[in-house]
Structure 1
């Protein structure tokens, strides 16, 4: 059979274009899965803060990019800094700033979320978080020891890295993972997730550098980030004060029975730290928690 170079070239081009198109769609899908809030914000589909939070609105500029957020200031009290999930507008925590009045609250949207400019990435999210934290701590006359970092879901990956770079008073993690890469591999073992998930959020690699007391609250029925990821992470910190699994899934942990008193205790820097769970029941030591 005669070799037809023209046909081979034509088929190669067709296959090449399909690989590029499908590969591009796969990458786009992966980015949507990691940062859905940025895509939803493009179409105004994110739920933001209620109107009464307008008086607390702040804009912080980092490297020429404006980040939108809110500072509910309570002079003389610790500062709680919240890093939300990948589908959350930070403003949805508005009611929590009133319920948990043990602290002042800083809520800032990631790049591309809400009215924040730019596009999110792990590097930018962490760098932005550190820059804004440094600025607010300095302007408010606080020290890092007066800060409680609170990270939920993907925000736990941000909070752990910030805590490793700075020395906050406490670190509180809600439905956290040991690494985003580990979760992705578990969810889609048939995909090249290491290539697709560029934002790996390797909390497991930096946990040993976190010097402050750590509180970890997971959901026993969490199917998005199964609790064994939180258990693995809890064994990597030098000082885990409380590990607790609530009867909840991934997105409803705030409504779980016992969560509010547990959270209140975790946020109180002046509270004595003991070996029991923050709501008075027995906590689960990280090293004793099994799958």
Structure 2
């Protein structure tokens, strides 16, 4: 083999390995995009102190047995949901978790850290509200389904859900061995079979982020009769909440 060709192949391999290393080191910067909170008043914020972080939770207090806990997307300011949720769901106390690094919460986000934070928030809310609907959107569906498999949620609602972040990453980076590189896999499939409470999956007809097949694969992992799949027509991944059907479907699933 000519020496120049060897040099070229070695250079290509070196660049490839360098890109793999960069993807491994900076992967969480490609997953999480922290946003500040736009709605902050003493009446709408709850501080949740956990072992290694102080978390901010946007809240609408309400006396009664029912509550809604919401986990947002990877670039979502969850406080923006507070006005519409408060109006649409008057009978529920509302808790919107700002992930670590988001909306004034300290720390850095990771799958395991967020999962622990979700458990801590649920236990805090459950002490006052024994009927908790767990709601997740996009990335947050992975948080919500894992939580609902570990705690006595009364309802589970998954908005634009996926079966596995690993599968999505493999689609987006097909030339890289993401199965060896990805730390936060959010493998919702393995939790679906452990869900026994009524579950609603809400899909966007023109979702440009989560492939339809990913949502349908997740739906197929639930025990028959547990989950229902609904499609909101004419909307995409980020515009789904603009549909008049959006809050209606969530409300129907509570």
Scaled by the length of structure 1, the TM-score of the pair is 0.76
Match of 1:6 in 2: none
Match of 1:59 in 2: 47
Two-structure CA RMSD over aligned residues (Å) = 2.3
Q: Is contact 1:153–1:174 with CA below 8 Å preserved after alignment?
A: yes
CA apart distance, 1:242? 2.3
SS at match of 1:55: coil
Match of 2:251 in 1: 264
Q: Deviations over 1:238-285 (max 9, x none)?
A: 243421111211111111242222122112xxxxxxxxxxxxxxxxxx
Q: Is contact 1:177–1:230 with CA below 8 Å preserved after alignment?
A: yes
Which one of the candidate residues 183, 192, 199 is aligned to 2:177?
192
C-alpha distance in structure 1 between counterparts of 2:216 and 2:242, whole Å? 21
Please tell me whether residue 96 in structure 1 is matched to residue 84 in structure 2: yes
C-alpha distance in structure 2 between counterparts of 1:263 and 1:168, whole Å? 15
SS at match of 2:157: strand
SS at match of 1:209: coil
SS at match of 2:170: helix
Q: Is contact 2:62–2:92 with CA below 8 Å preserved after alignment?
A: yes
Q: Is contact 1:47–1:92 with CA below 8 Å preserved after alignment?
A: no
Q: Deviations over 1:63-115 (max 9, x none)?
A: 13100112211111510000000111221212223222231100121111121
SS at match of 1:157: helix
Scaled by the length of structure 2, the TM-score of the pair is 0.87
Please tell me whether residue 176 in structure 1 is matched to residue 164 in structure 2: no
Q: Deviations over 1:172-226 (max 9, x none)?
A: 0000001101111122211221233210011101111111010000111111111
SS at match of 1:258: helix
Which one of the candidate residues 62, 74, 81 is aligned to 1:86?
74
Structure of greater relative contact order (alpha carbons < 8 Å, 6+ residues apart): 2
SS at match of 2:108: coil
Q: Deviations over 1:14-68 (max 9, x none)?
A: 999978864443335432221122xxxxxxxx252325x4412111011131001
How many aligned positions are there? Answer: 242
Q: What is the correspondence of 1:1-291 to structure 2 with a 5 Å cutoff?
A: 22-37=19-34, 46-51=35-40, 53-100=41-88, 101-138=90-127, 140=128, 142-143=129-130, 146-238=131-223, 239-247=225-233, 248-267=235-254
Q: Is contact 2:37–2:102 with CA below 8 Å preserved after alignment?
A: no
C-alpha distance in structure 2 between counterparts of 1:24 and 1:108, whole Å? 32
CA apart distance, 1:137? 1.5
C-alpha distance in structure 1 between counterparts of 2:113 and 2:36, whole Å? 23
SS at match of 1:210: coil
Q: Is contact 2:39–2:79 with CA below 8 Å preserved after alignment?
A: yes
Q: Is contact 2:162–2:215 with CA below 8 Å preserved after alignment?
A: yes
CA apart distance, 1:230? 1.1
